[in-house]
């Protein structure tokens, strides 16, 4: 019998979400409907997947909750911050992701989720103009107000522990800066000096969460918890962190399909990706400074799977410098589609004797329908990590994220290959459950 090193998931788990838009209300509504037996949490690894533990005669396939102690969906208690004052029911109806029949049975519970005023800076998301916003003297005050929100939620809800999840918009890109972002003392000094140009609001949320003993997940491509100062804080507070950017549509396809090209040793001349999206995320990303943040996240996937320096004959040609295949990503705001995102991929490959071929992928997906189960899995698994005594960057959660966090100061590369990420995930769960982490990653 395996002996788990995880503290039991007793009591209730508070889930404080930054952003009460399409993704978070779809997530909350799905959980509440599932609790009533009116929906199924399809897409959730923690609810459906079975993982092999043991070998030979000892081999068996178990659900995550059979390997390690996990909260029941009944144990989740929701709260949220948002710049708009709509409660979760109003926001879910406005988002038009779900049909009324899938929202109305939990109307009362959703109406009870009223957004806390958001810590917001209009310069970081110029296309948003909500009024449910905190008045902050400086970034340090902003952080302390968020900390007070967390303490108040804990006291009023009676939850035993809290996870903070960012499911809000993409901020403008903040380049990691050694002067402000590499040491905790420097980041704190920048907050107190109100250096708005180097301290994003998402950094204030992350700092507040970790300081209040809450694991933090970054579900957007923001520069927030993926800086050495935050790693230092996570180490100091013994809290797990994960990010960044939910891996939902096109990047999920890319991280799963690129390994096919690699395994078959085919050449890649270019990969062009474009998206049309009409929800609030699409509106925010229509601003070039915000798109730049997303572009950095989406471009990073291929380069760690199909490496020109490993196979120059296959991946060393395509762009003007003739050192690598051509890789381009575009996102276009198109309101008629709302949350129904369409991703087009044109892939120019070449095979035997250099003869060219093409692959076309057209993914007509629903952004929030794909993101909602990721929210559930990330919340439950980072809570698991905390109960297992794991802290700092949780690389085993890379499977759910577009641009997995890694220590770039030491030249570390993230793992973006979906199948290697899945192996990391299974090994971590096995290990926390007291079983052998017995799968090789490569």
Closest CA to 81 of 29, 180, 153: 153
pLDDT range class, residue 362, cuts 50, 70, 90: very high
State residue 340's pLDDT score.
86
Alpha helical stretches, state H, 103-196: 107-111, 139-157, 178-181, 184-192
Q: Are the C-beta atoms of residues 287 and 279 closer than 8 Å to each other?
A: no
**Which three-class secondary structure state does DSSP give residue 48?**
helix
Alpha helical stretches, state H, 4-79: 22-35, 45-48, 64-67
Q: 223-242, pLDDT tens digit by residue?
A: 999 999 999 999 999 999 99
CATH topology identical between 13-246+368-432 and 250-364? no
Q: Quote the DSSP letter at residue 360.
A: E
Q: 132-157, pLDDT tens digit by residue?
A: 999 999 999 999 999 999 999 999 99
Alpha carbons 278 and 240: distance in angstroms, whole number:
33
pLDDT range class, residue 3, cuts 50, 70, 90: confident
State residue 279's pLDDT score.
73
**Quick one: tokens of 142?**
């902003």
For the chain, give the number of residues.
442
**Which three-class secondary structure state does DSSP give residue 110?**
helix
Q: Are the C-beta atoms of residues 173 and 289 closer than 8 Å to each other?
A: yes
Alpha carbons 300 and 11: distance in angstroms, whole number:
39
Q: Are the C-beta atoms of residues 27 and 376 closer than 8 Å to each other?
A: yes
**Which three-class secondary structure state does DSSP give residue 17?**
strand
- The C-alpha angle 344, 346, 350, rounded to 5 degrees, equals 160
State residue 102's pLDDT score.
98
Mean pLDDT value across residues 175-189: 97
Closest CA to 234 of 220, 221, 249, 216: 216
Burial class (CB in 10 A: 0-12, 13-18, 19+), 308: middle
Residue 287 reports pLDDT greater than 80: no
Burial class (CB in 10 A: 0-12, 13-18, 19+), 260: exposed
Residue 297 reports pLDDT greater than 70: no
Mean pLDDT value across residues 288-316: 80
Q: How many C-beta neighbours within 10 Å does residue 12 have? A: 18
Residues 396/400/403/407 CA torsion (nearest 10 deg): -10
Alpha carbons 423 and 441: distance in angstroms, whole number:
6
**Quick one: tokens of 310?**
């490993």
List the chain domain ranges.
Answer: 13-246+368-432, 250-364
Q: In the chain, pLDDT over 90 holds for what percent of residues?
A: 82
Write down the mean pLDDT value for the chain.
93
Alpha carbons 337 and 320: distance in angstroms, whole number:
35
pLDDT range class, residue 184, cuts 50, 70, 90: very high
Residue 298 reports pLDDT greater than 80: no
**Which residue's entry shows tokens 């250099």?**
354
State residue 289's pLDDT score.
67
**Quick one: tokens of 366?**
């629903």
pLDDT range class, residue 247, cuts 50, 70, 90: very high
Residue 162 reports pLDDT greater than 90: yes
**Which three-class secondary structure state does DSSP give residue 348?**
strand
Alpha carbons 361 and 347: distance in angstroms, whole number:
8
Q: 303-334, pLDDT tens digit by residue?
A: 899 999 899 999 987 655 567 899 998 888 88
Complete DSSP assignment for 415-433: P--HHHHHHHHHHHHHHHT
Q: 397-435, pLDDT tens digit by residue?
A: 999 999 999 999 999 999 999 999 999 999 999 999 999
State residue 337's pLDDT score.
83
Report in angstroms the alpha-carbon separations of 47 from 5, 22, 63, 376, 381: 21, 22, 7, 9, 11
State residue 277's pLDDT score.
83
Report the Cα 410 to chain-centroid distance in Å. 23
Cis peptide before 244 (omega within 30 of 0): yes
pLDDT range class, residue 59, cuts 50, 70, 90: very high
- Bridge pairing between strands 342-350 and 326-333: unpaired
Residue 118 reports pLDDT greater than 90: yes
Report in angstroms the alpha-carbon separations of 88 from 24, 93, 115, 147, 199: 9, 9, 8, 22, 29
Residues 6+ apart with CB under 8 A from 88: 20, 24, 25, 28, 29, 78, 80, 110, 111, 112, 113, 114
Closest CA to 252 of 106, 88, 108, 363: 363
State residue 249's pLDDT score.
86
State residue 294's pLDDT score.
62
CATH-assigned architecture of domain 13-246+368-432: 3-Layer(aba) Sandwich (3.40)
**Which three-class secondary structure state does DSSP give residue 97?**
coil
State residue 322's pLDDT score.
63
Closest CA to 139 of 175, 176, 180: 180
pLDDT range class, residue 396, cuts 50, 70, 90: very high
Closest CA to 78 of 130, 40, 28: 28
CATH class of domain segment(s) 250-364:
alpha beta
């Amino acid at each position: 019998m395996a002996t788990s090193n995880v503290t039991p998931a007793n009591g209730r788990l508070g889930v404080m979400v930054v952003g009460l838009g399409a993704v978070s209300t779809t997530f909350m509504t799905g959980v509440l409907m599932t609790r009533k037996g009116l929906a199924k949490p399809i897409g959730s690894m923690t609810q459906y997947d079975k993982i092999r533990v043991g070998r030979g005669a000892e081999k068996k396939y178990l659900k995550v909750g059979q390997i390690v102690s996990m909260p029941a969906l009944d144990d989740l208690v929701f709260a949220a911050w948002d710049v708009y004052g709509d409660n979760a029911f109003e926001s879910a109806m406005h988002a038009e992701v779900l049909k009324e029949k899938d929202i109305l049975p939990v109307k009362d519970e959703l109406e009870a989720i009223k957004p806390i005023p958001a810590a917001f800076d209009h310069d970081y998301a110029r296309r948003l103009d909500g009024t449910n916003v905190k008045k902050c003297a400086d970034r340090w005050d902003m952080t302390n107000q968020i900390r007070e929100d967390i303490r108040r939620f804990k006291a009023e809800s009676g939850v035993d522990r809290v996870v903070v999840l960012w499911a809000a918009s993409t901020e403008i890109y903040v380049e990691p800066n050694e002067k402000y972002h590499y040491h905790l003392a420097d980041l704190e000094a920048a907050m107190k000096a109100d250096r708005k140009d180097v301290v994003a609001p998402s950094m204030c949320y992350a700092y507040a969460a970790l300081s209040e003993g809450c694991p933090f997940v970054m579900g957007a491509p923001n520069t927030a918890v993926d800086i050495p100062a935050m790693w230092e804080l996570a180490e100091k507070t013994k809290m797990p962190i994960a990010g960044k950017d939910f891996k939902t549509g096109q990047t999920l396809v890319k991280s799963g399909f690129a390994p096919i090209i690699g395994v078959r040793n085919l050449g890649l001349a270019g990969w062009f990706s474009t998206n049309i999206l009409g929800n609030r995320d699409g509106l925010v990303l229509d601003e070039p400074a915000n798109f730049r943040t997303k572009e950095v996240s989406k471009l990073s996937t291929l380069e760690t799977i199909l490496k020109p320096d490993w196979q120059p004959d296959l991946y060393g040609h395509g762009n003007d410098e003739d050192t690598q295949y051509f890789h381009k990503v575009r996102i276009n705001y198109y309101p008629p589609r709302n949350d129904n995102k369409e991703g087009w991929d044109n892939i120019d490959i070449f095979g035997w004797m250099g003869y060219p071929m093409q692959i076309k992928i057209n993914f007509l997906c629903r952004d929030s329908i794909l993101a909602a189960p990721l929210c559930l899995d990330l919340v439950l698994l980072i809570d698991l990590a905390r109960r297992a005594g794991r802290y700092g960057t949780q690389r085993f959660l890379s499977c759910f994220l577009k641009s997995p966090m890694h220590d770039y100061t030491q030249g570390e590369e993230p793992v973006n290959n979906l199948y290697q990420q899945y192996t990391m995930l299974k090994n971590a769960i096995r290990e926390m459950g007291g079983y052998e982490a017995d799968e090789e990653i490569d």
